[in-house]
Amino acid sequence: MARPAIPIQLRNEPENNLPPDQSAAVADVLHRLKGVPGALLPILHGVQEALGYVPPDAVHLIALALNISRAEVHGVISFYHHFRSKPVARHVLYLCRAEACQSMGAVALEAHAKKILGIDFHESTADGAITLEPVYCLGNCACSPAVMLDQELHGRMTVEKFDSLIQATRQTA
Ligand code: FES
């Protein structure tokens, strides 16, 4: 028989500076995942999925829940490009920089993307529409160069297709 769920209360932790909604989201992730083997990575993925990033103020709470140091949590966040410590825009655009895509024009596409969006990797456009992130293979090498917008893959990307995608994305909420 499954053990009854024991809710994790973070609101009253002495160093919990998260706003209530974020605190509740982090507590939910910790409650669901702190018992799984190698819980740190699943927890970081869970927090980023729930909030769009891993707030610096969540590091202490995660460390506390797993009985590890803040430095360990911070080390994993900074090691993996995937994790973000700042909020993201409404849409996240991942641009593949790995070999197959590079051989099919990803370098020029990257330069174009940065110019058109007016931002570098890990930054968001001024209108809050798009965050640009690098990624190292989207598993779509046969259709290089590839990008992923939110959860949707787009292959054989050209400058023209890219511009259309950005224009369409900006028109959505
Ligand atoms: S190298 Fe870009 S999708 Fe695999």
Question: For each of the chain's 173 residues, which pLDDT tens digit applies?
Answer: 444 444 555 555 556 789 999 999 999 999 999 999 999 999 999 999 999 899 999 999 999 999 999 999 999 999 998 898 988 899 999 999 999 999 999 999 999 999 999 999 989 999 999 999 999 999 999 999 999 999 899 999 999 999 999 999 988 86
Domain spanning 91-170: CATH superfamily: Glutaredoxin (3.40.30.10)
Which ranges in the chain are annotated with CATH 3.40.30.10? Answer: 91-170
Which ranges in the chain are annotated with CATH 1.10.10? Answer: 1-86
Ligand 1 atom nearest to CA at 99:
1
Q: SS3 for 82? A: coil
The Cα 41–Cα 10 span in angstroms is 20
Q: Which residues of 141-168 are buried (b: 16+ CB within 10 A; e: fewer)?
A: beebbbbbbeeeebbebeeeebeebbee
* Ligand 1 center–CA 165 separation, angstroms: 19
Total-model pTM? 0.72
* Ligand 1 center–CA 95 separation, angstroms: 9
- Second-level CATH architecture of 1-86: Orthogonal Bundle (1.10)
